[in-house]
């Protein structure tokens, strides 16, 4: 089996230089790295990560735990996280919790048993005290995304939910709507609650009273959006809202289906806007007015924060990054030039 010593003898460089070239160290000159990597490929050399882990006390693996990978929002964040860590020589282990707290705890325990170097977690619910009861988690760098938990300070990368929701709502109000509905995931989760707060504050700034009958919340899935929209719009004309804001893209997809089944036209009968912009919704007609893509920014920020904690061997921290959004105008809101 080829060793670093063998590569050093064949290339004429020191073992340290060969190791740095293999691990893409920034101090290695391009020509030096090219010469070494040519021999590495010729010898089909694969680094012994297990031995390196024993020496460095790292496994060069991180965990990524999300409720539902079929949700494009989490999928795109995960791709960004994996790309970032892959470039650093890490492997990403992905776990899906199916919105179950029990599955979430089991996933964390499973990853810790593999001695991973850190975890990025999109938690379920709003109570965070359960994390403090997971053995050894306090010794592992942890970044939370998408949802803020109760309990002690933690490390977060979140989108600016209140501002982004107010941005969508203000745009819809600008079209003259005074009865604007809001369809969300579970309000007890911080992401839903903050989006609701932004919605309500935008109404107040516009001088409109809040109408609780125009609010629906349930699960975050497509079915949740379908059922909530059907219920909200099933009332008679004059009672139902003239515009709808969806707090996630799966809710929007369900909403489009419900609106179609009710025989209503977008935006003539009901104007629509939504959080998130996965590529799939570009197939909808009219193209939805949404917030722009921020998944890559969230993934990059979470990965960078986690690697920094791993390098510094820090776990007792409370860092926070808030990612802003921008409005992407489609035809669903009533902007006539973009209706198709």
What's the pLDDT score for residue 47? 61
Contact in structure between 159 and 296 (CB atoms under 8 Å): no
What's the pLDDT score for residue 81? 96
CATH 3.40.50.2300 boundaries in the chain: 59-159+295-323, 161-293+327-338
What would the CATH number be for the domain defined by 161-293+327-338?
Answer: 3.40.50.2300
pTM over 0.85: no
The first and second tokens of residue 185, run together, are 């995931």
Q: What average pLDDT does range 262-288 have in this prediction?
A: 92
Q: What average pLDDT does range 165-177 have in this prediction?
A: 96
For residues 333 and 42, give the distance between their C-alpha atoms in angstroms, rounded to a whole number: 58
The H or E element that residue 74 is part of is helix 72-87
Strand locations in the chain, DSSP E?
Answer: 61-66, 91-96, 118-121, 142-145, 156-159, 180-184, 215-217, 243-246, 271-274, 289-291, 320-323, 327-328
For residues 176 and 267, give the distance between their C-alpha atoms in angstroms, rounded to a whole number: 13
Between 253 and 279, residue with greater pLDDT: 253
| pLDDT over 90, % of the chain | 64
Q: Provide the terminal-to-terminal Cα distance of the chain, rounded to the nearest Å.
A: 62
For residues 146 and 249, give the distance between their C-alpha atoms in angstroms, rounded to a whole number: 14
Question: Into which CATH architecture does domain 59-159+295-323 fall?
Answer: 3-Layer(aba) Sandwich (3.40)
pLDDT tens across 299-324, in order? 999 999 999 999 998 888 899 999 99
pLDDT tens across 122-167, in order? 998 888 888 888 888 989 999 999 999 988 899 999 999 999 999 9
| Residue located via tokens 């709808």 | 244
């Amino acid at each position: 089996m080829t060793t670093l010593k063998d590569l050093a003898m064949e290339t004429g460089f020191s073992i340290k230089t060969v190791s740095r070239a293999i691990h893409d160290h920034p101090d290695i000159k391009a020509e030096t790295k090219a010469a070494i990597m040519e021999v590495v490929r010729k010898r089909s050399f694969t680094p012994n990560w297990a031995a390196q882990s024993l020496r460095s006390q790292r496994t060069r693996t991180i965990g990524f735990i999300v409720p539902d990978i079929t949700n494009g929002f989490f999928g795109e964040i995960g791709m960004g996280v994996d790309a970032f860590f892959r470039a650093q020589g890490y492997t990403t282990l992905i776990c899906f919790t199916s919105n179950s707290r029990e599955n979430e705890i089991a996933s964390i325990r499973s990853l810790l048993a593999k001695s991973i170097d850190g975890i990025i977690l999109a938690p379920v619910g709003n109570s965070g005290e359960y994390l403090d009861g997971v053995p050894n988690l306090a010794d592992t760098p942890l970044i939370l995304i998408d949802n803020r938990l109760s309990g002690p300070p933690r490390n977060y990368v979140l989108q600016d939910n209140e501002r982004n929701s107010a941005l969508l709502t203000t745009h819809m109000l600008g079209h003259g709507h005074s009865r604007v509905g809001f369809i969300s995931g579970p309000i007890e989760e911080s992401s839903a609650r903050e989006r609701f707060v932004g919605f309500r504050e935008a109404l107040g700034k516009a001088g409109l009273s809040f109408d609780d009958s125009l609010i629906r919340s349930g699960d975050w899935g497509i079915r949740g959006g379908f059922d909530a929209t059907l219920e909200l719009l099933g009332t008679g004309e004059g009672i139902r809202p003239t515009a709808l804001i969806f707090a996630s893209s799966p809710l929007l997809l369900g909403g489009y289906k419900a609106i179609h089944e009710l025989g209503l036209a977008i935006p003539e009968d009901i104007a629509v806007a939504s959080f998130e912009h996965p590529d799939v919704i570009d197939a909808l007609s009219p193209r939805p007015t949404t917030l722009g893509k921020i998944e890559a920014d969230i993934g990059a920020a979470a990965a960078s924060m986690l690697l920094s904690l791993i390098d510094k061997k820090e776990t007792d921290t409370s860092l926070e990054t808030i990612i802003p959004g921008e409005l992407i105008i489609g035809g669903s809101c009533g902007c006539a030039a973009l209706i198709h």
